[in-house]
């Protein structure tokens, strides 16, 4: 059974690494059955070394069979270029299934190119909803869920969300591949002591922040508000800068951030896990980082008006603060002052990848 996996953006490399690593183990346990074979296509949505190649090296992801080199651009142009390249790659590879992850433009292009060629689509991280249609990601995930044959949900909430849209066939609650990833990589990520000492930081004595969403970065007044809030926390704040945020800060004229704010380039996944694990507090608009905070037992403040990962909020580990400086500072103080109870396991048991492969190997082709 031949899988064609489409990746393009940072979190997709991390998610895809889990399944790519599991395939040989899965095959070795299935002597006598047809083996799962995977080819990877990289759209080129992310292309800086620290946004792409670093994850292939660190996580041992196989080299892509096709690299489309699409790069950045407005949504229509970027997605359209991906569609052209993906259609060619899919026609050449003739896979039984196309596998897509998450909710980026690469996810949408992968799903759309496949379904038009009558290749069934498997969507990992199906059923997530923010119910905010102003987010490009919400449009992408709704569209891809509705064109997929297999919908692999990380949570029971995601299954319910799909049910509300009439999607019940092909829906599988498997757990979160990012939890698989964290469990596998945490021990390999090291203590990160060198990182902190290079930055002049001490464990459990700094906040770690990430911001990259268009909704946050594209409005200079919001960026300024957040930078102001970071200066009020009474803790050094470490901010690994997504390239979108780096250029937005430059354009917003935030040349001299408050002295407690340390700006660094994006870091590798292992370094990120080390920095998260040792942070006293995490502030973020990232989906993946909210969950990692939860799994690592670090209090989190979400710099958005809503979250798809409602379980982290229900368990008391995540506060939805929006982007108003006063609200952010108040949420941070509240988060630091309270120790929630043990988080439970709403994201599965770390074996989502095996479940996904099992479903695909049993039901997935070859196509007649
Ligand atoms: C994309 C996803 C978002 C995901 C994020 C993960 C969409 C619509 N958004 O957002 O869901 O959370 O990836 O990080 O698909 N840039 C570089 N170098 C790079 C990559 C990007 O300089 O390697 C800059 C470019 O100026 C580009 C901007 O970042 O225009 C935004 O990149 P893009 O891939 O369009 O969206 P992200 O904000 O990264
Ligand atoms: N991440 C990383 N280096 C960084 C920032 C984030 O490796 O400098 C990891 C983070 O640990 C998580 C993933 O990237 O696993 C989240 O990706 P991102 O925030 O870009 O996208 P989102 O999850 O919001 O779609």
Residue 181: CB within 6 Å of ligand 2? no
DSSP symbol at 238: E
Residue 189: CB within 6 Å of ligand 2? no
Average confidence (pLDDT) over 292-307: 97
* Structure tokens belonging to residue 160: 């319910």
Which domains can be identified in the chain, with CATH numbers? Answer: 2-176+348-363 (3.40.50.2000), 193-337 (3.40.50.2000)
Cα dist from 94 to 4, 27, 113, 192, whole Å = 9, 21, 12, 43
Residue 94 above 60 pLDDT?
yes
∠ CA 127-346-301 to the nearest 5 degrees? 85
Query: What is the C-alpha to C-alpha distance for residues 67 and 64, in angstroms, rounded to an integer?
Result: 6
Residue 210: CB within 6 Å of ligand 2? yes
Largest distance between two CA atoms of the chain: 63
Atom of ligand 1 nearest to the CA of 214: 38
Residue 72: CB within 6 Å of ligand 1? yes
Residue 311 above 70 pLDDT?
yes
Residue 293's nearest CA partner among 211, 219, 363, 208 is 208
Average pLDDT, the chain: 95
**Active-site residue, 228 included:** no
Query: What is the C-alpha to C-alpha distance for residues 314 and 93, in angstroms, rounded to an integer?
Result: 44
Phi and psi angles of residue 95, each rounded to the nearest 5 degrees, phi first: -75, 160
Residue 367 above 60 pLDDT?
no
CA of 13 to the centre of ligand 2 (A): 10
Residue 368 above 50 pLDDT?
no
Residue 10: CB within 6 Å of ligand 1? yes
Query: What is the C-alpha to C-alpha distance for residues 205 and 160, in angstroms, rounded to an integer?
Result: 39
* Long-range Cβ contacts of 305-309 (<8 Å, 24+ apart): 305/132, 306/130, 306/131, 306/132, 307/130, 308/128, 308/129, 308/130, 309/128
Secondary structure (3-state) at 351: coil
Average confidence (pLDDT) over 276-304: 97
Which position has the token pair 């792409």? 52
CA of 46 to the centre of ligand 1 (A): 6
CA of 334 to the centre of ligand 1 (A): 32
Identified catalytic residue from 46, 212, 242, 270? 212
Secondary structure (3-state) at 199: helix
Average confidence (pLDDT) over 187-212: 90
Q: Is the omega angle on the peptide bond into residue 149 within 30 degrees of 0, that is, cis?
A: no
Between 125-139, 163-177, 192-206, the lowest mean confidence (pLDDT) is in 192-206
Of residues 342 and 118, more confidently modeled: 118
Residue 123: CB within 6 Å of ligand 1? no
Of residues 339 and 166, more confidently modeled: 166
- Ligand 1: which of 71, 214, 243 to mutate, judged by most atoms within 8 Å of the beta carbon? 243
CA of 244 to the centre of ligand 1 (A): 6
Residue 242 above 90 pLDDT?
yes
Inter-axis angle of helices 177-186 and 10-28, to 10 degrees?
80
Average confidence (pLDDT) over 204-224: 95
Residue 237 above 60 pLDDT?
yes
pLDDT in tens, 18-65: 999 999 999 999 877 889 999 999 999 999 999 999 999 999 999 999
Residue 46: CB within 6 Å of ligand 1? yes
Q: What is the pLDDT of residue 365?
A: 60
CA of 19 to the centre of ligand 1 (A): 23
pLDDT in tens, 133-176: 999 999 999 999 999 999 999 999 999 999 999 999 999 999 99
């Amino acid at each position: 059974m031949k899988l064609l996996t489409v990746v393009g953006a940072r979190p997709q490399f991390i998610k895809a690494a889990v399944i790519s690593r599991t395939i040989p183990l899965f095959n070795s346990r299935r002597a006598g059955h047809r083996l799962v074979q995977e080819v990877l296509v990289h759209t080129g949505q992310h292309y800086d070394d620290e946004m792409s190649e670093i994850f292939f090296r660190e996580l041992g992801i196989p080299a892509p069979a096709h690299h489309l080199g699409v790069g950045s651009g407005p949504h229509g142009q970027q997605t359209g270029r991906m569609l052209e390249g993906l259609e060619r790659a899919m026609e050449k590879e003739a896979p039984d299934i196309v596998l897509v992850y998450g909710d980026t433009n690469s996810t949408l292009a992968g799903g759309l190119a496949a379904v038009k060629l009558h290749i069934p689509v498997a969507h990992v991280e199906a059923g997530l909803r923010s119910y905010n249609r102003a987010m490009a990601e919400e449009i992408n995930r709704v569209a891809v869920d509705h064109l997929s044959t297999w919908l692999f949900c990380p949570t029971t909430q995601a299954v319910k969300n799909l049910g509300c849209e009439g999607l019940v066939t092909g829906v599988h609650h498997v757990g979160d591949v990012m939890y698989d990833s964290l469990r596998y990589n945490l021990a390999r990520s090291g203590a990160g002591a060198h990182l902190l000492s290079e930055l002049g930081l001490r464990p459990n004595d700094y906040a770690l922040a990430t911001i990259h969403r268009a909704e946050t970065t594209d409005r200079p007044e919001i960026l300024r508000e957040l930078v102001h809030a970071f200066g009020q926390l009474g803790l050094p704040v470490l901010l690994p800068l997504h390239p979108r945020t780096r250029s937005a800060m430059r354009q917003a004229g935030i040349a001299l951030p408050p002295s407690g704010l340390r700006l660094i380039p994006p870091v590798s996944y292992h370094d990120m896990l080390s920095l998260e694990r040792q942070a006293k507090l995490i502030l973020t608009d990232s989906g993946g980082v909210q969950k990692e905070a939860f799994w690592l037992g670090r209090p989190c403040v979400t710099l958005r008006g809503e979250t798809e990962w409602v379980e982290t909020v229900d368990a008391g580990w995540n506060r939805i603060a929006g982007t108003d400086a006063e609200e952010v500072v108040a949420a941070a103080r509240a988060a630091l002052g309270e120790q929630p109870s043990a988080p439970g396991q709403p994201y599965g048991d770390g074996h989502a990848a095996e479940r996904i492969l099992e479903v695909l190997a049993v039901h997935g082709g070859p196509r007649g």
